[in-house]
Amino acid sequence: MENLNAYFKSVIDQDTASVVLCDLNHTIVYMNPAAVRNYAKHGGAVLIGRSLLHCHNASSNSRIQEVVDWFAASPEHNIIYTYHNEKQNKDVYMVALRDADGTLIGYYEKHEFRSPETMERYAF
């Protein structure tokens, strides 16, 4: 089968939820178009290559590191619920990113919206 990377990138790029991938040094290595738009007031795509920790307060940074340490403690530690955003009616999780051998290589934040879809069905 041809290279799956293009397929995986396309899935993430088409997602309407923000996807920000970070390495273990908390460097933002990728933002999908939804994230670039969502974080435009903070710099958007300019954030790629910068530390995610610069976008949060000390308390949040401590929690982020605590979760990354938990991910690193076991290959079975892969997702953790972090909070509910009432305004946008969504749950937010941190998710471990692992290579083919199961080694932790980074993390991302996953957004799951609870509100029903407002788009017309099959509206071409």
Tell me, what CATH number does 62's domain have? 3.30.450.20
In a domain, 8, yes or no: no
Q: Per-residue DSSP letters for the chain?
A: ---THHHHHHHHHH-SS--EEEETT-BEEEE-HHHHHHTGGGTGGGGTTSBGGGGS-HHHHHHHHHHHHHHHH-TT--EEEEEEETTTTEEEEEEEEE-TT--EEEEEEEEEE-SPP-SPTT--
In a domain, 88, yes or no: yes
User: Do the domain assignments include residue 26?
Assistant: yes
Encoding tokens for residue 58? 């000390």
pLDDT number for residue 9: 93
- Which amino acid is located at 120 in the chain? E
pLDDT at 117: 87
pLDDT at 73: 97
Other CB atoms closer than 10 Å to residue 32's CB: what's the count?
A: 21
For residue 2, tell me if it sits in a domain. Answer: no
Domain-embedded: residue 81 = yes
Domain count, the chain: 1
- What's the predicted TM-score (pTM) here? 0.88
Q: Which domain holds residue 95?
A: 17-113
- Looking at residue 36, its pLDDT comes to 97
Q: Would residue 29 count as lying in a domain?
A: yes
| 119 located within any domain | no
**pLDDT value of position 62:** 96
pLDDT in tens, the chain (124 residues): 568 889 999 999 999 999 999 999 999 999 999 999 999 999 999 999 999 999 899 999 999 999 999 999 999 999 999 999 999 999 999 999 999 999 999 999 999 999 888 889 998 8
What's the confidence (pLDDT) of residue 1? 55
